[in-house]
A and B are shown apart, each in its own frame.
Chain A
Amino acid sequence: MLLEVRDLHVEFTTRDGVAKAVNGVDLHVDEGETLAVLGESGSGKSVTAQAVMGILDIPPARITGGEVLFQGRDQLLLKEDERRKVRGAGMAMIFQDALSSLNPVLSVGDQLGEMFRVHQGLSRKDARAKAVELMERVRIPAAKERVGQYPHQFSGGMRQRIMIAMALALEPALIIADEPTTALDVTVQAQVMDLLADLQREYHMGLVLITHDLGVVADVADRIAVMYAGRIVESAPVHDIYKAPAHPYTKGLLESIPRLDRKGQDLYAIKGLPPNLMNIPPGCAFHPRCPMAQDVCRTDVPDLFEVSEERRSACFYWRETLHG
């Protein structure tokens, strides 16, 4: 197993109180596997990713419990200096907005080359050559001519390719992509996702794909983990989940996708709002919005029940959800 997160808890201390952003996340990724982490804004996807990478701002954030095992070592126990060596070389991250994730005053060649200069101590010239090679690998045309250009001179899709190239530079075993295509238009989205999937296959990397876009997930993911209020509420192989969700929240998400065969009908929407993280409802956090909620949901927190060997659901009524 490449990455295993066990019972991770993250809190943010704010002026108004403590926001519990992540409340016991369990997930795992194997080599060469793509795990999609799905959830609404504020469900704790990005915070989980940042905690795994070790780039949370502490304070205000605080990791209050859990383990992050990467290649067998608990990252949370490592010293900052050791973690830094893992970042970039062992695991790397792709951010949502490539324009703001690239330094505007450095050329892309400098920024790509920096990876090799910092981690491998290459000379400026060798690093530049490596940068060109990387840009070619992420299919940027005329890489040799463009290596000296600045981020603002590239289009959105090209910038995201450069971000991908930076993440790939040291051939990490794991890549965490935090909504890598959200800022792009649909056709470019598909190109970038294809590229990411190809490269993942080529390097046999683990990929954690954080997204709220169910369309993106269906094409590339092997498994899906659905997050709600800082917990994984369902995890399953991608086909099972699309065929028959085992959690009412997943079901609601899938039903709220516009479909051509239901043209003219009202679009389904999950009623209510995501919970306030300062004040998460007792019991199952989803119960105020759940059409199947019973008394037990209001008082007891459901465990992550084993639906099948590959599948988990945090719902007392997963059987009913699955079959009805």
Chain B
Amino acid sequence: MPETERPEALRGSGGRPPEDGRIAATGAGGAMDLAASEATTLERAPGAPGGPGLTGGGPSGKPRSLWSDAWHDLRRNPVFVISGLVIAFLVLIALWPSLIASGNPLSCDLAKAQEGSQPGHPFGFDGQGCDVYTRTVYGARTSVTVGVCATLGVALLGSVLGGLAGFFGGAWDAILSRVTDIFFAIPVVLGGLVLLSVVTSSTVWPVVGFMVLLGWPQISRIARGAVITAKQHDYVQAARALGASSTRILLRHITPNAIAPVIVVATIALGTFIALEATLSYLGVGLKPPTVSWGIDISAASPYIRNAPHMLLWPAGALAITVLAFIMLGDAVRDALDPKLR
């Protein structure tokens, strides 16, 4: 297993010293590892909300919860504002790409293949003579769809399975923990090459399904750890002593106190899923033409990088900015939700 590169240097936030017992790298190289190492940090110190750090309002002030406090912090954090704006823009063009790109990403003119920037076509043309600007804009839709769907699937499946395992413990917990170990041992890219090479569908769903399949154990571990921490708090025992049922304790007392680390890791994972989609598409096992995807475009452009670098750089730049934006967002959210970092 390759060792995970710590993301602290990227964040520039100092961070904590490396800790033992980190999650093994998922084998995807950089992409999943970033979220995985973030996961380790969170698993070791789940963002358990604590009252003492939050005495903002004072007895006569307006009541402030952990969430409103976090929101208050986030709004003043430039990292959050910038990444939030980038993401809002991405979502906007993913929903309505025609707002800023009037052309059709699939209408190409071979005569203009590999031509550079010219009026009306600021990013130039790719090897098939398609407009790179239009394709880059339309590529956002695929990336955001894959990222959001995979993250939702992973977060739901992982937190339900992990949360129940952490809460009830026992045999179910032991089985689940071993199953997550098995999934952690599957190298993501290799798994993708094997599993996705047999898929012929050209929609995003096989790719999303594959990411959920390999991604849930990570969230499941975080959720399990967070629930175990929350479960040990006195207020859970107090709720039990006052006659609350297990369902009620889990939903009302544990979930709100255990969800913060899941949100953080899921946000960061979103960026890595987008990168993973590009990786798989680049390798030819992810999305397939005519789907418009940055990964496909990067793959098609890479042989011509010396002749026509613009074909590669624009989609690659868009991909890098998108992934960075989600990771920065996750980072800002983590800082806001973890009172220990205040």
Q: Which residues of A contact B (CB under 8 A)?
A: 53, 55, 84-89, 92-93, 95, 97, 99-107, 114-115, 118-119, 146, 148-155, 163, 166-167, 169
Contact = CB atoms under 8 A, between A and B. Distances in A.
Given A87-B241, A89-B243, A118-B244, 20 more contacts: A84-B243, A87-B243, A88-B241, A93-B238, A97-B234, A103-B235, A103-B253, A103-B257, A104-B49, A104-B54, A104-B66, A105-B49, A114-B252, A118-B248, A149-B57, A150-B51, A150-B65, A153-B59, A153-B61, A166-B238
25 contacts: A55-B240, A85-B243, A88-B244, A89-B243, A93-B242, A100-B234, A100-B235, A103-B253, A104-B50, A104-B54, A105-B49, A114-B252, A115-B242, A118-B245, A118-B248, A149-B59, A149-B63, A150-B54, A150-B64, A152-B54, A153-B55, A153-B57, A153-B59, A163-B238, A169-B242
Most chain A beta-carbon contacts within 10 A, residue among B58, B63, B238:
B238
Nearest to B51: A152
A101 B235 contact: yes
B235 A84 contact: no
A106 B254 CA distance: 11
The 4 closest A-B pairs by CB, nearest first: A152-B51, A88-B243, A87-B243, A93-B241
Contacts of A87: 240-243
B237 interface: yes
Interface residues of B, number: 32
A89 B256 CA distance: 26
B11 interface: no
Contact of A99 (B51, B65, B241, B245): B51
A105 B257 contact: yes
Interface in B19-77: 49-52, 54-55, 57-59, 61, 63-67
Interface string B227-251: 0000001110111111111001000
A87 B24 CA distance: 44
Contacts of B257: 103-105
A101 B234 contact: yes
Contacts of B58: 153
Contacts of A55: 237, 240-241
A248 B191 CA distance: 72
A153 to B, nearest CB: 6
Contacts of A151: 51
B243 A118 contact: yes
A92 B59 contact: no
Interface in B208-240: 233-235, 237-240
A119 B243 contact: yes
B238 A102 contact: yes
Contacts of A152: 51-52, 54-55
Contacts of B54: 104, 150, 152
B231 to A, nearest CB: 10
Nearest to B260: A105
A92 B234 contact: no
A53 B243 CA distance: 10
A160 B239 CA distance: 15
A153 B244 CA distance: 24
A115 B241 CA distance: 11
Contact of A106 (B233, B234, B241, B252): B252
Nearest to B248: A118
Given A100-B234, A152-B55, A153-B57, A105 B240 contact: no
A149 B65 CA distance: 9
A169 B238 CA distance: 14
Nearest to B52: A152
Contacts of B234: 95, 97, 100-101
Contacts of B61: 153
Q: Report which residue of A97, A101, A107 has the largest number of chain B beta carbons within 10 angstroms of its beta carbon.
A: A101
Given A99-B51, A114-B252, A92 B63 contact: no
A162 to B, nearest CB: 11
Contacts of A118: 243-245, 248
Given A88-B243, A150-B51, A105 B256 contact: yes
B270 to A, nearest CB: 24
B241 A105 contact: no
A100 B233 contact: yes
A153 B242 contact: no
Contacts of B55: 152-153
A166 B50 contact: no
Interface in B183-197: none
Nearest to B244: A118
A80 B239 CA distance: 15
A97 B55 CA distance: 18
A90 to B, nearest CB: 9
Nearest to B60: A145
Contacts of A169: 242
A284 to B, nearest CB: 33
Contacts of A150: 51, 54, 63-65
A104 B51 contact: yes
Contacts of A93: 238, 241-242
Nearest to B63: A149
Contacts of B52: 152
Contacts of B235: 100-104
